[in-house]
Amino acid sequence: MKNLTLLLLLFAFAPLGAQHSADALVADWERAKAFTLEYLEAMPADQLDLRPTPEIRSFAELMTHIAEANYGFGAPGTAQEMPSKPEDSGMDEDITKESLTQKVSDSYDYVINGIRNLDAQRMGEDVQLFGQFDMDRATALDKAFEHQTHHRGQVSVYLRLAGVTPPGMKLF
């Protein structure tokens, strides 16, 4: 019994990437993409510039941040080249709901396709995030998932301020 308890504890504290197959990671990212796109769809097009307070990002800026971070975390996590520098994909003056949705959707596809195409043996390879954080690829993908989840949660406040009920939780 003692060995079984120890084994269960070790499994519980293993990195996410070690617990999940590539198929499971892809399924999680596809669910996250669908959930994020539901949030985008729920926001009225004339409210993209909504800011809960003047000093924080607008709705569109927050969604752009999620997209840019998917690339920033996803590139080292999946061993892909980053398609552009984050500063090159900033806010357009004439951003539309459609262009924002495409930008966000493309960023999720980038991570999803990267996971699909990465040899599982490479998940343990060491990488560096943002020139300063050392970790393995699986951990980088864990951090990417945590990041987009955190910011998508913030979007609930923006939707409520716009008079919109956020989409229901998508755990499965």
Is there a binding annotation on residue 151? yes
* 145 domain residue, yes or no: yes
* 83 domain residue, yes or no: yes
* 130 domain residue, yes or no: yes
* 38 domain residue, yes or no: yes
Per the structure, the count of domains in the chain is 1
* 138 domain residue, yes or no: yes
Full domain range(s) for residue 54 = 21-161
Task: Look at residue 168 in the predicted model and tell me its pLDDT.
Answer: 85
Along the 172 residues of the chain, how does pLDDT read in single tens digits? 555 444 444 444 444 444 568 899 999 999 999 999 999 999 999 999 999 999 999 999 999 999 999 999 999 999 999 886 554 445 556 799 999 999 999 999 999 999 999 999 999 999 998 889 999 999 999 999 999 999 999 999 999 999 999 998 877 7
Is there a binding annotation on residue 147? yes
Task: Look at residue 17 in the predicted model and tell me its pLDDT.
Answer: 41
* 169 domain residue, yes or no: no
b/e sequence 127-154, b meaning 16+ C-beta within 10 Å: bebeeeeebbbbbbbbbbbebbeebbee
CATH number of the domain encompassing residue 93: 1.20.120.450
- Yes or no: say if 151 and 65 are a contact pair by the CB < 8 Å rule: yes
* 94 domain residue, yes or no: yes
* 61 domain residue, yes or no: yes
Task: Look at residue 92 in the predicted model and tell me its pLDDT.
Answer: 57
